[in-house]
Amino acid sequence: MIPVRGYEGERVAVLGLGRSGLATAHALAAGGATPLCWDDGAEARARAEAAGLTLHDLTRREAFDGVAALITSPGIPHLYPEPNRHILRALHAGIPVDNDIGLFFRSLGSGEWDEMDQPPRVIAVTGSNGKSTTAALIHHVLEAAGRPTQLAGNIGRGVLDLDPPRDGELIVLELSSYQTELARALTPDVAVFTNLTPDHLDRHGGLGGYFAAKRRLFAEGGPDRAVIGVDEPEGLFLAGQLAMGPGDDRVIRVSVNEKLTGPGWLVHARKGFLSETRKGKQVGAIDLRAVPALPGTHNHQNACAAYAACRTLGLSPKVVEQGFASFAGLPHRSQIVAEANGVRYVNDSKATNVDAALKALMAFDNIRWIVGGLQKEGGLAALAPGLANVTKAYVIGREAEAFARDLGDVEAEVCTEMQVAVAAAMSEAAPGDTVLLAPAAASFDQYDNFEQRGDDFVARVRAALGA
């Protein structure tokens, strides 16, 4: 646990009692504060009370009297589409609003590092797509190289659940826009921006607000190194804002769309080959085609970002390559779950938006595509470049018929349920085909989350194969 510093002897309200909220309350108590816990859900309140935490009804008129701060869970809106009622009352009362990420950065370096030879460092990864794989890949390479490291944030453990860092430890965080937009402290040593595509637009008031939330990771604390994907205008803009000139190697530009040239620190991948150049000379290269857990251009982008971050930490190209080779990938992200009779089965349930699904479609040929769910803003038109790789679509979700119509000329079968879609795809698949779950939609019409959806796909495939 990371004890929260700066609130010793203070009363601090905690709103939202899921994983991060409970960890925040315990970390506040460990740091000498009195956490006052509330959740609008009775079940969550009961869990907190069973964990020995003090409930504090934020609906009462005097609820914020004598409260030093309100710490809110990332999933609770504080501005758009409209502020949560408790957050609005805190703002009216002039009470600071923060989240666990802000508390983490505020508390991490508060005195305990004085006797360490090498203070711990934080590598924080954000972006629309690929941030989980990028963060996990960095963490894996560091582990494989024998470096002390922990992984947390939007993946795995909550940030305040981390063990107190050891001498020279490297903490890798995956941070969503929900986490970066409200944190009052953001001071990573290395910050990574993978890419930007439209997502969560209602929460951020549009694409500009979404980008602004991501940009805070780089603007608030000024990282020592910034790894920036420049394949979208926003990434180009961010790199331009941070760099003092073309040769400023504090900014490492990453691309999978073009060969990067110039005097700066550059990492790009073309046709499966990663290349690193500095001052116009190639200093490292990796054949990514030999890494089975990183298929497709989108994973090559993740690899470039992870490679660049690891290089800033002093790892050699060879050491990074060895780490890539032993990376097993993440569940629900281009996860190869089985291969049988010449057919490959891939779980990419994390492809919850059109851009992520397009990248999955571009990574494989002869696809029998399981798709559908709660469609997001913007429609499905952006999938067009990948549809040539689709042999047939098998559409799931409560609105499967409407979803199928939006796929245009693609042959589509309305299945509605996962079990029907898997059975149909498997019965029609031929050697050389890939049965791919890449929904291009949220899961909440039929599942609690994308993990549950992916687990359902995997279980049905393996049951049918007798695995």
pLDDT tops 70 at residue 199: yes
pLDDT tops 80 at residue 115: no
Q: Which residues are annotated as a binding site for ATP?
A: 127-133
- Tell me the pLDDT tens digit for each residue of 312-323: 999 999 999 999
Confidence of residue 198 (pLDDT cuts 50, 70, 90): confident
- Tell me the pLDDT tens digit for each residue of 149-175: 999 998 878 999 999 898 899 999 999
Q: Which domains does the chain have, with CATH numbers?
A: 11-98 (3.40.50.720), 103-325 (3.40.1190.10), 335-459 (3.90.190.20)
- Tell me the pLDDT tens digit for each residue of 175-191: 999 999 999 999 999 99
* Stated pTM of the model: 0.86
- pLDDT for position 129: 87
Q: In whole angstroms, what is the distance from residue 32 CA to residue 147 CA?
A: 32
- The percentage of residues in the chain with a pLDDT greater than 90, rounded to a whole number, is 86
- Tell me the pLDDT tens digit for each residue of 262-279: 999 999 999 999 999 999
Exposed, middle or buried: residue 462 (CB in 10 Å: 0-12, 13-18, 19+)? middle
243 versus 118: which is more confidently predicted?
Answer: 243
Q: Which residues are annotated as a binding site?
A: 127-133
Q: Which residues contact 173 (CB under 8 A, 6 or more apart)?
A: 101, 122, 123, 124, 125, 135, 151, 152, 153, 154, 159, 188
- Tell me the pLDDT tens digit for each residue of 13-61: 999 999 889 999 999 999 999 999 999 999 999 999 999 999 999 999 9
- Tell me the pLDDT tens digit for each residue of 135-150: 999 999 999 999 999 9
- Tell me the pLDDT tens digit for each residue of 328-352: 888 898 888 999 999 999 999 999 9
Confidence of residue 110 (pLDDT cuts 50, 70, 90): low
pLDDT tops 90 at residue 356: no
Q: In whole angstroms, what is the distance from residue 28 CA to residue 32 CA?
A: 7
pLDDT tops 90 at residue 111: no
Query: What order do you get walking across the sheet with 149-153 strand by strand?
Result: 149-153, 170-174, 121-126, 190-193, 225-229, 251-255, 265-270, 273-278, 281-287
Q: In whole angstroms, what is the distance from residue 398 CA to residue 373 CA?
A: 7
The mean pLDDT value for 241-246 works out to 94
For the chain, the average pLDDT equals 94
- Tell me the pLDDT tens digit for each residue of 369-382: 999 999 887 789 99
pLDDT tops 80 at residue 114: no
The mean pLDDT value for 232-259 works out to 96
- Tell me the pLDDT tens digit for each residue of 289-313: 989 889 889 899 999 999 999 999 9
- Tell me the pLDDT tens digit for each residue of 204-214: 999 999 999 99
